[in-house]
Amino acid sequence: METERRTRLTPDERRAQLVALGVKSLVDQPLESLTIDYLSARAGVSRGLLFHYFTSKKGLHREVVRTARDAMLDATEPAPELPPRERLRDTLTRIVRFVRDYRGTFFSLVRGVASGDTEVREVLEEARASQADRVIQVFLELGVADSELLRLALRSWVGFAEDILVDLALNTEMPAEEIVLFLERSVTAIAASVDPRRTIALD
């Protein structure tokens, strides 16, 4: 008779497993519904163990949001070998794909900024800053003059893009190519308006 071998997880492995389960739960429910009781029941562990690892519901949310953020940034990492225009289009295409593949996760991330937890908001703002830096780099390579106005405008565009992705990628069946083209044209128009001396071709 075969006996089942169980591998004992280290504390770090167990914690990572619980965080991964929390991220997975975002597919079915918003971040604010992820509670200690819910996760302990789903993981089959005691509430005390979760409090040991995360201290509180807010602590759990911070780790889940941080992990989800990193997954999104990794999945949409720009391809450095592509020229700037193609790199922007490729990145936007992968963002739309991520949004549609991980709908609940993306919605919880972009709407999590409304969280009452300052640290959760900071984690999400870090994601926005990273995405903005990626876009800024594209237009600097295309010859747009660097300025505080350019950086402010493109950071604001990231928030605009999030709303578009929620409205179009999540709530409609619009083809991904059309969403990508709209986002590309909108960000190009913003960059061109900041530095009108520079003509930026769409294609």
So what's the architecture of 68-194 in CATH?
Orthogonal Bundle (1.10)
- Listing DSSP states for 113-129 in one string gives GG-S-HHHHHHHHHHHH
The rounded distance, in Å, linking the Cα atoms of 153 and 167 is 21
117-133 burial: b if 16+ Cβ within 10 Å, else e:
beebeebbeebbebbbe
Give the residue extent of every domain in the chain: 11-62, 68-194
Fold of 11-62: Arc Repressor Mutant, subunit A (1.10.10)
Q: Can you list the residues of the chain whose pLDDT is less than 70?
A: 1-7, 112-116, 196-203
Which pLDDT does position 5 carry in this prediction? 42
The rounded distance, in Å, linking the Cα atoms of 183 and 187 is 6
Which pLDDT does position 119 carry in this prediction? 80
Which pLDDT does position 203 carry in this prediction? 56
Dihedral angle, C-alpha 171, 26, 125, 202, nearest 10 °: -40
SS3 167: helix
For 44-71, what is each residue's pLDDT tens digit? 899 999 999 999 988 998 899 899 999 9
SS3 191: helix
Which pLDDT does position 21 carry in this prediction? 92
Which pLDDT does position 3 carry in this prediction? 38
